[in-house]
Amino acid sequence: MYVDDLLITRSSEVMIIDFKKEMSTIFEMSDLGLLTYYLGIEVIESEDGITLNQGRYATKILQEAGMEDCNAVHTPIDAGLVLSKASKEQNADEKEFRRNIGCLRYLLHTRPDLAYSVGLLSRYMHEPKTSHVAALKHILRYLKGTSSHGLTFSRAKKMELVGFSDSSHNIDEDDGRSTTGHVFYLNKCPITWCSQKQETVALSSCEAEFMAATEAAKQAIWLQELMEEITEKSCKKVMICIDNKSAIALTKNPVFHGRSKHIHKRYHFIRECVENEQVEVQHVPGVEQRADILTKALGRIKFKEMRELVGVQDIVNFKFKGENVGDKHEVIPILMSLGLG
């Protein structure tokens, strides 16, 4: 529910009809039918699943920034770009910079490929410089060429949670901290992702990956509880894929504690999760690490590969692939509006 709008989903159309009748006896309501547009997110339903896209919202961002006619680029941020507080640079318009960043952050609901670049610039909203504005314009130019991109959610019979966790090896120029990234999939469909700076300085790549894995484990436990509450069924342990073998060994073997005793105790939370069989840690090659796009700026070819792996597609030209479970209305999203004036 948002203000006076209700979004109703259920596997049974009969239950939705009964719910609408009951609500209508208490409140004055308008039935807006099958969900097509909600809070800036466009929803397209088909027999094979649904797609989510914020194309109209992205176009509005470009118009308000005066860049609707700009030339498009292939990546949101140049590989190797280094940003800092840059105290010697000229100050930029704080109000305009913050407004654009705020708009882009809402766009991240369907665009995980923008999470790292927008998160990086969010660190400089207090006192933006000319280099930060130039990086912002680069993101908007990338948005110009990808405004039709979004997420797809295919129908499936089983429910399986899999996560990918990664940490950057490049560090922040101002405080030396790495960037953590993780993304979780439900039946190969991305449902939650995160890209943020770590709270403490890591002394090695192994430590940075271990800290990132702990954050992913916390998210996995929350997703497990959420799925159990929704489905009323026990959720299997979540697989978390990491591309650092030393970090994986640290989650399983207490012998490694002699080399990691300086790591804060709370980051050893993942060891308990592994011991209790709530999560399982597995190695994945770096070329298949889907969270890579959430932790660093990538080159053009690598970025496009990771964007496809993480699940961002061109919705206009996308066609569902995979099994069709048959029932078109297996899950029905209905939009209703309360008569609150």
Mean pLDDT per 10-residue run, the chain (341 residues)? 81 86 88 85 86 94 93 93 86 93 94 95 92 95 95 85 88 85 92 90 83 91 90 86 88 64 68 85 92 93 93 81 48 57 32
Closest CA to 164 of 136, 192, 140: 192
DSSP secondary structure letter of residue 287: G
Task: Specify the pLDDT at position 265.
Answer: 63
Q: Are 198 and 208 in contact (CB under 8 A)?
A: yes
Instruction: Give this prediction's pTM.
Output: 0.86
Task: Specify the pLDDT at position 102.
Answer: 94
Locus of tokens 């100050």: 91
The residues with which 124 forms a beta bridge, in sequence order, are none
User: What is the CATH T-level fold of the domain 157-313, as seen in this structure?
Assistant: Nucleotidyltransferase; domain 5 (3.30.420)
Closest CA to 112 of 289, 287, 317, 307: 307
Q: Which residue type occupies 335?
A: L
| Phi, psi of 216, deg, nearest 5 | -65, -40
> If 0-12 CB within 10 Å is exposed, 13-18 middle and 19+ buried, where does residue 67 land?
middle
∠ Cα 111 200 214 (to 5°):
60
User: What's the CA gap between 164 and 279, in Å, rounded?
Assistant: 12
311 torsion bin: left (phi>0), alpha (psi -120 to 50), beta (else): left
Beta-carbon contacts of residue 155 (< 8 Å; ≥ 6 apart): 48, 49, 323, 324, 325, 330
Task: Specify the pLDDT at position 334.
Answer: 61
Closest CA to 297 of 104, 118, 62, 174: 118
Rg (Cα) of the chain, in Å, rounded?
22
| Phi, psi of 165, deg, nearest 5 | -125, 140
Q: What CA dihedral angle connects 92, 94, 95 and 96, to 10 degrees?
A: 40
Q: Which residue type occupies 83?
A: L
Task: Specify the pLDDT at position 331.
Answer: 55
Domain boundary assignment for the chain: 157-313
